[in-house]
Amino acid sequence: MFRLQRSVNFRFPFRSLKTETHAMSMSRRTMALLSRWSSRVFSVDVDGETIYFKIRDNQPGKGAEEMQRIFGDVQKYAKYYSLLVSSGDKIYTARFHWELKDKLLAALPPQCHFSPMCSFVPRVKDSLVRGYFLRADSPESSATTERLLRQWLQLDDPLLVCSYLQKNENSPQWIQYIWNHEQNHGIVPSEAPQYHPATLNLINSDVFYSFQAAREVFKKCVDIIPEAASVLELLPCDADVEARSEPDFPVIVLEGLDATGKTTLTESLRDVLGATLLRSPPECLTPWRARFDQEPPILRRTFYALGNYITAQQIYRQTSKTPVIIDRFWHSTAAYAIATAVSGPVCNLPAEGSELYRWPGDLLQPSLVVLLTLDPEERKRRLKDRGQEETKEEHELDLNQLFRLRVEEAYGRISGPTCISVDASSSAEQVLQQVLLLIKAKCHL
């Protein structure tokens, strides 16, 4: 669980953006959630493990031991709450949830902790709702927590708040009470779903499969992120994206984690083949990259997805004259997005062959994609020797072995085209010769 540090008062920054229509939309969304409440499954991340539970009224005593894994060794004064964030506006909801973590850290009292949680309807796309599970460990912290939660509800923000309590001291049954809706439900453990719940909302939220879908999301955030307008001005028009033809010269993509030797290899290939070297995201997006790296996943992923389409237009302009070498392309965008959205072990990833790994139908397909692989310890050593500042995701790769494994596995599952792995532990010259052999065989250069 996240530990809270200090207590201050604040108001959510989105209130000034809301309109009467938006508030009505949020109300309809809440009612839609409640209409299928008994079909929903809830999950809480506890100490690196995901615990699932569901509504099951009138079954006292069911799953006492499993429920204790969520609520822990129940303390006399402990109180439990959940916050689920949902509105009719995907971007509003994403930004609200993204900033809610910081607000909880700042506003809730000491002796209060929280963990990520979500709610979803199994096998129903776009049914995932994210939020947080809270535990207040003293009468003072629970009183302050409840007061803050009631204040936030009065702001008409997209919060659905629940409390959790035992039916009585001698009963192992837990009750979920939905605030402002006067609903009580018994809850019992649930089996883990066949696929990780995050996969329900991946399409065109974390991974984009068309230029139009990514651009439409980006256009909606211009009012709240002025920099988005500058990015939109750089995008190709629909006709340019649709008017695709087979490149005259091969397009070769180099993929891999940082410090696997991509920069050295791409520059060597450029010189040996007389090729044009491009990078994704393209340099024209550099002024806004740090800005969108601070945004929630849906906007960050949209930014990088659109960067791929700008790169594709640059490729078309060059392939009539020379081969093109690209330092990262859509594989990176998709692999990092999937591995970030889907937590836990590799088995939680979408199954091999899933539509989530398919190449966008309107994006140029490379002639060859080479994935450079490297032993994790050697990669760490190289990163240290370079002395450069790590990106947030690279830092996560170093700290979280499961995240690294998910990224690597997602790379390998993307189709159209698939990656061909090359061991990058040899000398730069040996790796270059290996890749040149692949290019000769696959691209006839």
Q: What is the pLDDT of residues 78-126, one digit of tens each?
A: 889 999 998 888 999 999 999 999 999 999 988 898 999 999 999 999 9
Sign (positive or negative) of CA dihedral 65, 68, 73, 79: negative
Average pLDDT, the chain: 85
Say if residue 234 is exposed, middle or buried (CB neighbours under 10 Å; 0-12, 13-18, 19+): middle
Rounded to whole angstroms, the Cα distance separating 407 from 401 reads: 10
Rounded (to 5) percent helix, strand, coil in the chain: 45, 20, 35
Rounded to whole angstroms, the Cα distance separating 212 from 231 reads: 15
Contacts of 27 (CB under 8 A, 6+ apart): none
Under a CB-based contact definition with an 8 Å cutoff, are residues 131 and 84 in contact?
yes
Q: Domains of the chain (ranges plus CATH)?
A: 2-200 (no CATH), 206-443 (3.40.50.300)
Q: What is the pLDDT of residue 77?
A: 72
Q: What is the pLDDT of residue 147?
A: 93
Say if residue 9 is exposed, middle or buried (CB neighbours under 10 Å; 0-12, 13-18, 19+): exposed
Under a CB-based contact definition with an 8 Å cutoff, are residues 87 and 26 in contact?
yes
Contacts of 324 (CB under 8 A, 6+ apart): 247, 249, 250, 251, 252, 275, 276, 277, 278, 315, 318
Rounded to whole angstroms, the Cα distance separating 286 from 192 reads: 41
Residue 246: pLDDT band (50, 70, 90) is: confident
Under a CB-based contact definition with an 8 Å cutoff, are residues 71 and 45 in contact?
no
Say if residue 8 is exposed, middle or buried (CB neighbours under 10 Å; 0-12, 13-18, 19+): exposed
Percent of the chain residues topping a pLDDT of 90:
57
Q: What is the pLDDT of residue 344?
A: 85
pLDDT tens digits for 162-207? 999 887 666 667 899 999 887 899 898 899 998 899 999 999 999 9
Rounded to whole angstroms, the Cα distance separating 246 from 316 reads: 9
Residue 66: pLDDT band (50, 70, 90) is: low
pTM: 0.87
Kindly state the average pLDDT of the residues 313-342: 94
Which of 269-273, 344-348, 393-397, 421-425 has the least mean pLDDT? 393-397
Under a CB-based contact definition with an 8 Å cutoff, are residues 32 and 126 in contact?
no
Q: What is the pLDDT of residue 4?
A: 40
